[in-house]
Amino acid sequence: MSFPRYPKYKASGVEWLGDVPEHWEVKRSDSCLSYSRAQLDPSEFKGLEVFHYSIPVVQETGTGQLENGSEIASGKQVIKRRVVLVSKLNPRKGTICIADSQQALTLCSTEFVALEPFNCEIQYLHYLVRTEGFRQKLESTVTSVTNSHQRASPADIYRFWGAFPPLAEQTAIAEFLDRETAKIDGLVAEQRRLIALLKEKRQAVISHAVTKGLHPNAPTKPSGIPWLGDVPAHWEVKRLKSVATFSGGGTPSRDNPAYWNGNIPWVSPKDMKADRIDGAEESISEEGLRNSASNLLKPGRVLIVVRSGILKHTIPIAINETAVALNQDMKALSFETKKCVPQFFLRWVQGNNEQLLFDWAKQGATVESIEHNYLAQTLLPLPDIHEQKDIVAYLDTELARFDELTAEAERAIDLLHERRTALISAAVTGQIDVRQHPAN
């Protein structure tokens, strides 16, 4: 879709804006908005239901959530009007939303800068501060040096140079962007539904192959596992501990620099993002290995997370392709190669993730954990080695198809997001004229 440009432009004098329509006003934002700073002490909202805009929730949902005020321990800003919230924490993430005093008491994190427009259309302002140019400009002003806790100054957020058309035109631009971004968001939602369906189908294919085999007419027998039912009659059902040995990990002292940044990848739960592991975010030295509870694991071991919040919904599992060491929240399984193919066990866990999460959960743990004894006593239905390899090869082929379809959907989402970002930027900087664009 192409859009006309304005008849005449002028230099804005602002690098991230470039040239803007001749009749637009280039001015500092604090001439048309104020910075709301009203704060409340935790004692003032204990026992109340409050609507709370917190950084993580806004990042995930674009809005806030209803909470029990008694569970909020730190001071918050109070929202009394409709405002634009811009996070000063990690501006590269673009945590921004429009907040309204929907409840009797509406709060937001003190990490937000609350912008209250008085001579500016709020939705236009919302789109303006969402532009990539504004985000980059804000990111360039951060004062912190760590990647995880960069902060922009509140003054840089509420006192910036922007381009402001007449109010009626701001409204027209905002309404246009509301319509067009809603269409894009709808297309993104369709792709996300497709990804979810592909994930479900992928899971079903794995589960069927590792529990029923590749021969639909094969005779069956009870597996002895209540949630599994029957398995092919020629498969053996064995305890996991009879076909694998277990080893754990540990953490060298952080106080000794000689133990760290060596040549041994040190795998922790944060590294478990794929089926294959060929490195890690952190590494340890041979001296660090000797002075910890960790061991050097040869390639081909099955690595599994046994303690992490991620165990609320999934069991991260992978096979290492290079020698690694583990931290204490991990286990490694070494299989007897004549009894079980490591890749078969990996797929078996992936195919039965939900049931195994329940069976392996350690009761009473403060952090989601896998109980070692439950893991070791697991009943594992196993075909012979040749059939295991056939199942693994079949799944490698089938899953590659699912992965490619998923990758295509993710690429489509990326392109739609790029389109959305570019459209917003073009409209609020006057690179396109959308005043006469029809509603349908």
Write out pLDDT tens, residues 64-104: 888 888 888 888 899 888 999 999 988 888 899 999 887 67
Provide the residue type at 344 as one letter. F
Q: Is 160 helix (H, G, I), strand (E, B) or coil?
A: coil
User: Strands across the sheet with 330-335, in order?
Assistant: 244-247, 330-335, 302-305, 317-320, 276-277
Q: Give the CATH fold of the 25-164 domain.
A: Adenine-n6-DNA-methyltransferase TaqI; Chain A, domain 2 (3.90.220)
Length of the chain: 440
Q: What DSSP line would sit under 314-381, residue for residue?
A: ---EEEESS-BEE-TTEEEEEE-TTT--HHHHHHHHHHTHHHHHHHHBPTT-SS-BB-HHHHHT-EEE
Q: Give the CATH fold of the 214-382 domain.
A: Adenine-n6-DNA-methyltransferase TaqI; Chain A, domain 2 (3.90.220)
Instruction: Give the integer Cα–Cα distance in Å for 2 and 163.
Output: 22
| Annotated domain spans of the chain | 25-164, 214-382
Which residues make beta-bridge pairs with 120? none
Instruction: Give the integer Cα–Cα distance in Å for 433 and 128.
Output: 15
Write out pLDDT tens, residues 199-216: 999 999 999 999 999 998
Write out pLDDT tens, residues 294-325: 999 999 999 999 999 999 999 999 999 999 99
**Angstrom distances, CA of residue 432 to CA of 122, 427, 428:** 20, 6, 9
Q: Which of 57-61, 211-215, 287-291 has the least mean pLDDT?
A: 57-61
Write out pLDDT tens, residues 8-47: 999 999 999 999 999 999 999 999 999 888 888 888 888 8
Structure tokens at 349: 């866990």
**Domain pair 25-164 / 214-382, same fold:** yes
pTM exceeding the 0.85 threshold for the entire prediction: no
Average pLDDT across the chain, whole number: 92
